[in-house]
Structure 1
């Protein structure tokens, strides 16, 4: 028997809480980079590996997530994912060396599939009129997780500079990065517990032949007289489908003519959303802001501002997505994103760098750093040329240790222009293409391919995200910020053109009605 559940809203909140944990995981690591790099003497590529390890792991996990979801169900899959989060958070906190930390984060990345499974589950339980805002809760949960992590990182940074006895006793001054990562453990345990209170997906139950149980779940959600009609629609969409199909057979469904348009849209949007560089900014927020020459403390504080801005505009996006529609938010959101990235490119391209004799003398006397005298008075037209010259003199490890101070002293940077571009980009992404992606993934695929399709295109999106995260530190050192943002901007422009041509409107339509719409277009 199916018990009386709280509501569709309750289930959506519980399931999307996993995205909050993902946001915590991703942003907490951004605050540890300086500390871990100093403790383990990491190179650019090692930093990239540490940050992007979950992004690599999720690529492997997504290959099998869809099949597992179809076999054991969305609910049981989420419970397993939540346990992986708990294990990874504990292992990361107590990692004795760099290699162990990377392995622990890699294991945690297997749980990043929580995004695609959450979008799948919510899309299957939500009524058409509410699907947009309910699925978009996944995005707001990520952003709240990012915001909480940035705030925690900033607070931990301030505590690490304190001489208060209890701070010293707890090891906050000597194990700052471990305390940052430990924060994730408690919410992961809470999520694991809450997942036992939600029902199985009614569409998955029909797929597995448990029609009576699916009917009970729909009644528990308050579907009333529409239950029988919805069950008929679901059953008709599954005619000729083998619910026990193998992984390879299930994957072949993606090449059917009736899902072709959905596949094209998901592929293009999945790539474009990530190639604009959102995870370079979110996963490396303090590092990005240090390039503005504002210093380490201000860089962490600016990361808090980014998180807060993203949270506000994600809420706005959720309020608009079922009113304005998916197409306007996606298409014009990409235009806004592109303009913002071009502003960032222009700002960084105007920056110059030059070391003063006073600063070099101060650094030499306070930290016994020698060799920078030869660079005094030289003017560098790009950050990567300046960094290359300093690294050649100091070595990469010493430069990393004092990077914030050096850039703060040497840079003549139009900070206001770049900040406008970055904040505008954060506003645009979180209000438009951020939440729209998961809403589209949750609704454009028919029931018989959803278990395979959503993880597959989440895999493609995650693969792009992985490369962005892995190579960002290296690109920042070897190409410079201006060229990175130029590439992101051009990618956004190409994405805008493509999505303008192919993006449909899907609001207020059931999953089965969207399938019929695509079939008519393909006929």
Structure 2
């Protein structure tokens, strides 16, 4: 598809406006993902959670996301991308309001899962919609708006948490409830965007309506060329794609790329960092207030480097960004591993006095003057001084009083990791997913890949609190570093470059391979 650059440029502002509105779903996704980090301590106390209950309350949103992933593709194919996103906005509004008002653990979990369904729909359908209305030369940047809004949402959540943390004993309710405001704005704004021209032609055969939308996007010549491309694609298509079709050998390369990138985007630990950022910094010896401030810095780093990715993705290309990003992620995770591995835990009058529980403080007095080189040795000694309940309290709340660590190195490592993710696996995955699937299987395939991505995400967020308490941060970050290194090898071997190609050209290239 070779549209004159001047035609596309004349109508760029309209396309950008549509993309920004639709990408507000990404903002809600990011906000919902990160806001729980500030509420962790509050909900743990209010609902009297164990480690596994906490992990589930944070990660259960992914169960909803899995349902949203499975439903989003087929629903969007049948009822349209726009209508599906309107429902998504309503789900975010309900979830935020109910989570803030919940008085029981089960009720809280249900409200979180409803928000997860919204996340599952937004993360898949928003980039698909944008990819279908964007000219090829702008597609990578415009689809990345969704990832940009995700990281803006994360940053805003960290700021919101910081300013709300001291509003009262149940400040977590305000943290979770404030999301209802942008959710309602998204719901209203979506009514102003047009339906996807590709969907209008492919599903409803409304060519004239699609033509009017395409003319507003890129002018008459762009509209005619695009309609011809879409109709040629329709002429080549067989019956509607089914789940078994994604197992067809001609789609093997596509599925390997999609499932592989979806796996490595989550298994390398990004949601563990975002969901538990204040907890990680407290593990490095920071106070509650400083850990919330450091979380804000993480969010801002994510935002800045996502902007860098948007600038580079249609210039440098998808694969180079993935290789650069995953390499730097591996280095950053090794830095964090090194920092925690060299940490010590010192017991003296000053550190023991910081313990909030009187009985634990008295029991630990016997360790005065001792120093431990790792968590395993520390836990072995402390466990002999405390009962089971006290030891659990120590691991959760008191261990940070004793750690001596290069906190600056931990902060630098986390910031480098987040920056590297933000220029690579974060935005590039969703851009690739929106580009590589043929129209015949796009709806079902993108749902399967999204479900798989959410399943991996849930596994990471569910296990992370247990890993920190039982394996320690050293082993935890070392495992993520190994997985990040494997991601480099995968990208080098399997991922192809889609920069500058039309969706139809990408389809022909991958199926031919």
Aligned length: 501
Residue 461 (str. 1) matches residue 453 (str. 2)? yes
The more displaced of 88-97 and 222-231 is: 222-231
Aligned to 1:474: 466
Unmatched 5+ stretches in structure 1: 161-171
The more displaced of 131-140 and 370-379 is: 370-379
| Secondary structure of 2:53 counterpart | helix
Aligned to 1:55: 62
Cα distance 1:365–1:292, how it changes in 2: closer, same or farther (>3 A)? closer
Per-residue deviation, residues 162-212 of structure 1 (Å, max 9, x unmatched):
xxxxxxxxxx31221101111101100000000111111111112212223
Residue 68 (str. 1) matches residue 60 (str. 2)? no
Residue 239 of structure 1, aligned match among 226, 230, 235: 235
Asked whether the equivalents of residues 234 and 447 of structure 1 are also in contact (C-alpha less than 8 Å), the reply is no
Aligned to 2:303: 311
Unmatched 5+ stretches in structure 2: 1-10
Distance 2:359 2:302 in 1: 38
| Secondary structure of 1:238 counterpart | helix
Residue 33 of structure 1, aligned match among 18, 36, 40: 40
Residue 156 of structure 2, aligned match among 142, 148, 159: 148
| Secondary structure of 1:199 counterpart | coil
| Secondary structure of 2:412 counterpart | helix
| Secondary structure of 1:467 counterpart | helix
Aligned to 1:512: 504
Aligned to 2:114: 107
RMSD: 2.3
Residue 22 (str. 1) matches residue 29 (str. 2)? yes
Residue 192 (str. 1) matches residue 199 (str. 2)? no
Per-residue deviation, residues 15-73 of structure 1 (Å, max 9, x unmatched):
11011111111111110111111222211101101100111221122122211111111
Per-residue deviation, residues 400-438 of structure 1 (Å, max 9, x unmatched):
777787344311212222222111101101122211111
Residue 181 (str. 1) matches residue 176 (str. 2)? yes
Asked whether the equivalents of residues 20 and 143 of structure 1 are also in contact (C-alpha less than 8 Å), the reply is yes
Cα distance 1:504–1:369, how it changes in 2: closer, same or farther (>3 A)? same
Residue 441 (str. 1) matches residue 437 (str. 2)? no
Residue 221 (str. 1) matches residue 217 (str. 2)? yes
Distance 1:368 1:381 in 2: 21
Normalised TM-score (structure 2): 0.92
Cα distance 1:95–1:495, how it changes in 2: closer, same or farther (>3 A)? same
Distance 1:214 1:253 in 2: 28
Per-residue deviation, residues 250-299 of structure 1 (Å, max 9, x unmatched):
22332334433221111111111111100000011101111100121111
Residue 348 (str. 1) matches residue 340 (str. 2)? yes
Distance 1:438 1:49 in 2: 26
Asked whether the equivalents of residues 117 and 455 of structure 1 are also in contact (C-alpha less than 8 Å), the reply is no
Cα distance 1:242–1:83, how it changes in 2: closer, same or farther (>3 A)? farther
| Secondary structure of 1:324 counterpart | coil
Residue 125 (str. 1) matches residue 133 (str. 2)? yes
Distance 2:254 2:357 in 1: 63
Structure 1 residue 353 displacement after superposition: 1.0
Distance 1:220 1:136 in 2: 21
Residue 139 (str. 1) matches residue 135 (str. 2)? no
Asked whether the equivalents of residues 33 and 275 of structure 2 are also in contact (C-alpha less than 8 Å), the reply is yes
| Secondary structure of 1:236 counterpart | helix
Residue 10 (str. 1) matches residue 17 (str. 2)? yes
Cα distance 1:153–1:388, how it changes in 2: closer, same or farther (>3 A)? farther
Distance 1:433 1:421 in 2: 17
| Secondary structure of 2:218 counterpart | coil
| Secondary structure of 2:440 counterpart | helix
Per-residue deviation, residues 335-356 of structure 1 (Å, max 9, x unmatched):
1111111111111111111221
Structure 1 residue 231 displacement after superposition: 1.6
Cα distance 1:368–1:416, how it changes in 2: closer, same or farther (>3 A)? closer
Asked whether the equivalents of residues 42 and 397 of structure 1 are also in contact (C-alpha less than 8 Å), the reply is no
Asked whether the equivalents of residues 355 and 401 of structure 2 are also in contact (C-alpha less than 8 Å), the reply is no
Cα distance 1:78–1:420, how it changes in 2: closer, same or farther (>3 A)? same
Cα distance 1:364–1:188, how it changes in 2: closer, same or farther (>3 A)? closer
Asked whether the equivalents of residues 353 and 411 of structure 1 are also in contact (C-alpha less than 8 Å), the reply is yes
Cα distance 1:365–1:309, how it changes in 2: closer, same or farther (>3 A)? closer
Asked whether the equivalents of residues 116 and 454 of structure 1 are also in contact (C-alpha less than 8 Å), the reply is yes
